[in-house]
Chains A and B, each alone.
Chain A
């Protein structure tokens, strides 16, 4: 039993005053201090990591009764090099999240057509859910698809979640779901940063934030665009402030003047959804004014590659477009190859078919006047931004870009990020300290949950999910083994077969990889099972069963009315979460009649992150271990235990009675998940890292021959094998748990601030936790040095070649070999940064397209108004508004510091709700005047998809803009509210967001849509 606040007050008030204040020499009886004096006495301190955004701030949790009681205080860990003790409003409130009597503490069950919850036990719920899983799976399992290809999949159950799980939990969840045969596996990453992954992977080779939080402090110029870092990543912004203290300029480009803008040297307003126009204008400006780093562009990017004559671009379309299929034939965008299959280059960058010449031609249309009329940004402001940021083209200067949902959540989300990636390559800002393209992730473990493959299209380690046309394992391997004839290209993805074999051994240890491959569920070739499609299919009745783990899709997904209606079509749903939420309770939500809704709901109470142990990965790829503070409250449990117990129960059910394709269920390598009863995060972490199944001959770190013993941990993914002799649940994490003993092997738990003087210059902290891959802190760091190994920025070197020792010092080099021996982008087939990106679905160069719903009837400078390859759903056009006088206002969804995501956790945290209690709508004085609205009035926002009330916040931070000569208003609404709690808080912004998605990833366009509004 823990001490509750009231008891605590009594205890301390009684005995402690004299002792604590006696030393002051007089009797102090402060009104509030009475309770605090003993606060930390007798508590046990444990370290954890904040569960909100992905800065990854260190916490110290103080738990009463030497750890046996409840948490009494949670504050920042002063040793942690990122937050150094600091916390934002959300982080500072974690005590109240933990010790919160409104948390779900019991299993709840809602029977079909019932209007109430019933309390149940775990002992009842787990076998009941297992029974439903088995019945649904057995009835709906498909061994073959319509073409007769083997698919071994279950498309009658879908799962979403979760970035709120630890890495170890994510891994076992995907293994569980895939053993069942699920292909509809999605989570938060799809709807927050899915566009980041292909954009960065196409440009540089990996889909993750290139640098890390502390490194932002090394920048000479910080551009924040498509993001609001001061509010969404307040402690990450600490490092922006550090950069500014050293003289860096801060530029903020955003439709709204936010808390970030308040600190900026330059603030530029633009219309939501016009970032490519803005940045395309920057590319034109940089090229025309020779503001690019020529040596870098020539040597380290594909600017010199020659493009085949089939590539062309005209009136908004690239060559190869098939309008019926809404698809491009990407073969039309290929490079000219030499006899070895290596792209031909013109190192003078003069050839009219070289990438740089095509780039110039493509952006020739993006002149200041055009860009200004599209974006609404004044021309002089554009020039000011271009010039200031362009100054980082100097070899010794670096500029960094910080972005988030403002770029990702568009039908051109991937291309927004691509445009900036290209600019960073032109300026030589990739690989250097204070540079990079820094995708600011929004969930504490959304990097990890993506790494662990909780998405329909990837397995752990970014290995693509297999497709039905890849019949045999060899077919699959052929598809993941790129070839390069260039001796300087390491072409690292050629090693993927080793990672796949090791993954299959982690999932199914007792069979060989080729056999295990047959157990994996297969999607049809070209099939999309991403978020919007999943809920579209759910509304059409495709799924009987549904899991929502640590997610709240009824509020988080675009077009909430559609999502909520889709939930009514299910037979059963399992909702695992910390609090009651709009998803689990959808059957009693607005407009719902419980009597008519058949869906059974199991609400399973998960514990809070401070109550469990495991690792999470922050935005900067730091894998950080969290320890348990207090025990789980009430009957809540770690997600890992819930997953493990459910899978054990499903296995029992399949052992007891026959069912469809039991092999992957009974053959799963479950011995690495726990002790038979309890989930064991260390065991899973060791398996994710990987171990040897047999004695294997290899090379030690010194190059000498050694034998790696069966059962020992693999220390680097370079040692993984394609013959089934190694296990590794996720090759990207290989090197994170290198010895079975947690004290020496668990690198994510390392807390040493030790660094060399060189490393200290850039705040590398290589001994604090661990970063993937192989503890490399700055990705593509080979591009921070010239061909002789001399850093371009000697004052802040990421690494330097030590000629005497014949080795690199500083960061772990991203690719071994002497200076000049290899190309710097080792994950790329051709080894170079991609200014031209022929692998994306909507073109090798980004093009400005209007949002699907927008104020303009036509594209301002081409014949193609919207992204021709965007994800749309036939029949929904009628629910959208284009240049419609009934819905003339551009709306964007936003966030505030004090809430997080759908508000599921923060709305229940009184200190946060106090600060941001209700739905609001930010609008300009002009619009308010036009509509007769006063600040603080209740207003109704409306479009064809939904209606929403909000409190008007009338402010000079919002301004009408002149777009193509016409005054256009913009408003902004937070998406943190929902009808469940508080009762007067409002509902989700997603009620108004259309179901349209990016051409590459299907991320919904939550940041630009049309509404109307009036005083309520």
Chain B
């Protein structure tokens, strides 16, 4: 399991939203018509045209107050449940995984998939559908840039060192080093779902404090979605083996 990974050091994020805009710029995604809803977070959620979103969360009060920022994107799961879900529904071409990088990539054929099934397969609730074309979208790791030797647009734009990208081994090493440093002051800090994903967040508080779907805990019943998928799709995965 090599390929590429992101390391996202949330202790450094200032929510400047350079990444949110740089993503739209490179991909030429249109702006949404939004309203002020009593939060700096906008758009309020991911969408077909907002595949990267900085989430804002306030927690605690007084000296225990924290303002947390969570630049959210597809995690590019090492074994992507959405891809498995597509395969299980007999449309293996709709969602692909790039062998070199590990990027999980949605093609035009995603319009043929059952969107609810794909979305619910995602431990992080990432995929979004275009109402008109029925295509499903999410971050593609800026695969065109990466193959051209460029950093993904979000990583390139990040001013504080929050966003990092490179060979998975290097990112894991960097993540481990930063975790040890951060834990000195914040013992609850952790690397979120490091083994399962290629977008590794360093969170200084419980992941669910940032956002309910930051970590893989949102699956049906007692299972995490990864566990659930292993259970339901296990036989298929073994077949792929």
Contacts and interface: CB of A to CB of B under 8 A. Distances in A.
A241 B110 contact: no
B35 interface: yes
Given A5-B28, A37-B144, A917-B34, A898 B159 contact: no
Interface residues of A, number: 74
Interface stretch (B58-66, B191-199, B207-215, B223-231): B58-66
A515 interface: no
Contact of B159 (A24, A83, A257, A914): A83
B188 interface: no
The 8 A-B residue pairs whose C-beta atoms are closest, nearest first, are: A910-B31, A936-B38, A234-B16, A935-B38, A918-B36, A86-B159, A914-B31, A29-B107
Given A24-B98, A261-B67, A235 B25 contact: no
Interface string A896-924: 11100000000000111111111110000
A51 B28 CA distance: 21
A28 B17 contact: no
A87 B157 contact: yes
B186 interface: no
Interface string B121-161: 00000000000000111001001110110010100111111
A953 B51 CA distance: 25
A29 B16 contact: no
B159 A88 contact: yes
Contact of A957 (B22, B67, B69, B99): B67
A74 interface: yes
A935 B37 CA distance: 8
A291 B15 CA distance: 36
B91 to A, nearest CB: 13
Interface of B: 12, 14-18, 20-22, 24-40, 42-43, 51, 58, 60-61, 65-69, 93, 96, 98-100, 105-110, 135-137, 140, 143-145, 147-148, 151, 153, 156-161
A906 to B, nearest CB: 11
Nearest to A27: B93
B65 A30 contact: no
Contact of A92 (B25, B31, B67, B147): B25
B28 A35 contact: yes
A25 B99 CA distance: 9
A31 B22 contact: no
Interface string A877-912: 000000000000000000011100000000000111
Contacts of B108: 29, 31
Nearest to B66: A262
A936 B12 CA distance: 28
A954 interface: yes
B136 A956 contact: no
A914 B43 contact: yes
Contact of A24 (B17, B28, B58, B100): B100
Contacts, number: 203
A915 B17 contact: yes
A915 B66 CA distance: 21
Contacts of A953: 36, 38-40
A936 B140 CA distance: 34
A93 B21 contact: yes
B137 A31 contact: yes
Contacts of A29: 107-109
Given A31-B110, A76-B156, A914-B33, 11 more contacts: A24-B99, A31-B135, A36-B145, A85-B151, A241-B160, A262-B68, A911-B31, A912-B21, A915-B20, A915-B42, A917-B35
A234 B38 contact: no
A915 B143 CA distance: 25
A27 B17 CA distance: 33
B144 A87 contact: no
A897 B17 contact: yes
A331 B25 CA distance: 59
Nearest to A20: B144
B25 A75 contact: yes
Contacts of B157: 75-76, 85-88, 91-92
Nearest to A86: B159
Contacts of A20: 144, 147
A952 B36 CA distance: 9
A566 B66 CA distance: 45
Given A25-B99, A30-B143, A957-B65, A235 B15 contact: no
B36 A951 contact: yes
Contact of B31 (A30, A40, A95, A913): A913
A957 B157 CA distance: 27
With most chain A CB atoms within 10 A of its CB, the pick from B21, B28, B42 is B21
A30 B17 contact: no
B69 A262 contact: yes
B127 to A, nearest CB: 11
Given A73-B26, A92-B18, A31 B37 contact: no
B160 A238 contact: yes
Contact of A87 (B22, B40, B107): B22
A23 interface: yes
Contact of A230 (B14, B21, B68, B99): B14
Contacts of B39: 935, 953
Contacts of B151: 85
Contacts of A263: 12, 14
B159 A237 contact: yes
B110 to A, nearest CB: 6
B42 A93 contact: no
A957 B28 CA distance: 34
Contact of A896 (B29, B40, B99): B40
B106 to A, nearest CB: 5
Contact of B16 (A78, A89, A956): A89
A483 to B, nearest CB: 48
Contacts of A237: 14, 16, 159-160
A325 interface: no
A21 to B, nearest CB: 8
B42 to A, nearest CB: 5
6 contacts: A31-B136, A86-B158, A914-B32, A914-B42, A915-B20, A935-B38
A469 interface: no
Contacts of B20: 89, 915
A91 B18 contact: yes
B128 to A, nearest CB: 11
A661 B40 CA distance: 56
Interface in A7-43: 8, 20, 23-33, 35-37, 39-40
Contact of A89 (B21, B38, B98, B143): B21
A231 interface: yes
Nearest to A82: B159
A28 B107 contact: yes
A257 to B, nearest CB: 7
B14 A911 contact: no
A628 B12 CA distance: 34
Interface string A66-81: 0000000111101000
Nearest to B50: A914
A86 B156 contact: yes
Contact of A956 (B25, B65, B153, B161): B65
Given A33-B140, A897-B17, A956 B159 contact: no
A741 to B, nearest CB: 34
A29 B144 CA distance: 12
